[in-house]
Structure formats: structure tokens, C-alpha cells
Amino acid sequence: MSEETKTTWANPEPPIHHAIALWAARCAERALPIFEKQRPDDDRPRAAIAAVRAWERDELPMTACRTAAFAAHAAARDATEAGETAAVAAARAAGQACAVAHMFDHAPHAATYAAKAVGLYGDGNVARDTERAWQWENLAPELRPIGFPNGSITRVQVDGRRRAAGSSSIRREMLSRR
């Protein structure tokens, strides 16, 4: 690949970067109780979420967030060894959320892992899809291309019908419920 065709990666402007980091943190926080129920003595995922929030407030450098993210992923590995798959996904969500301080494109992974944790701990696809719908609705429309780089969320259940949640019809239905 020539120098001219290489993709240049850069974080967005700080207000956008911070907004997507906070959304990723909120997604991971929703899965955090799953981890804490299964691994009550391990605070590494919670510390990772606290770190990214401190970074967003300019109280912590990005390098400290990278360290906290690595620690959350170590907690996920420990949960893997214990066979606690929902806790693994929740810890990975926290690690990915914290890693947004380093690179904004970790945000979709934080959301995906959080939804996976909810699905594994809850009633499967319905719980996961409901979480993805919450994530979609709680991300500013102008940030959705970052949080959902494929253009929409996975399929969700609305009134007993499964449809692509990124479609206009489901967005209208979800908005009409407010």
C-alpha cells in the first residue's frame, strides 16, 4: 500500500470525542452490575469506567485510561477462567469504553459487549436487542455513525415484530412511545 492510499486515523474534535466516550461509559455502566454480581471483589471494570469519565473532565491523562482499560480486560480474562461469560462481556465493555480515551473507534465495541453481557445474563436475544435499542436511542443522531458504524443497530423486537432498528419505521415507533 502506498503512502497516498493509507488511511489516516485520527480522533474527532474534543467535544465529539468526549460525547462518544461518555456514551460508551453509559453503555458499559449498564452492564457493570452483571460483572459485579458474578465477581464482587473485582473493581477493575468499575475503575475503568471511572477513569474514562475522569479523562472526559480533563482530570486524567489518556495514558492512565489505557492502563485502566488493560486492567478491565485482565478482569475479563479472569472471568473467562471462571466460566462467567456474561461477566467477561461486561468487563470487556468497560475496557473498550475506557479505551475510547485513546481512540474513539472503541466506542462501538463497548456498546456491543455491553449488549452481549445483558443478553447472556438475561433472556438472550430479546434482552440484547432491547439493550441495543436503548443504546441507539441514547446516542445523539449525529454521533450514530460513530457508535453504529454499520449504519443501524441489530434487529429488535417491537410489539412482537422483528425489524431492523435502524429503519425509519422502527425509529418512528420508538419515538412515538415517548
The string of DSSP letters for 9-28 reads: P----HHHHHHHHHHHHHHH
Does the residue 8 lie in any domain? no
Does the residue 20 lie in any domain? yes
Does the residue 7 lie in any domain? no
Does the residue 3 lie in any domain? no
Q: How far apart are CA 35 and CA 1, in angstroms?
A: 42
Range of the domain at 55: 14-176
Q: What is the mean pLDDT of residues 155-165?
A: 45
Does the residue 1 lie in any domain? no
Q: What is the pLDDT of residues 2-50, one digit of tens each?
A: 555 555 668 899 999 999 999 999 999 999 999 999 999 999 999 999 9
Does the residue 156 lie in any domain? yes
Question: Cβ distance 95 to 8 under 8 Å?
Answer: no
Does the residue 6 lie in any domain? no
Does the residue 4 lie in any domain? no
What is the number of structural domains in the chain?
A: 1
This prediction has a pTM of 0.82
Q: What is the mean pLDDT of residues 95-104?
A: 97
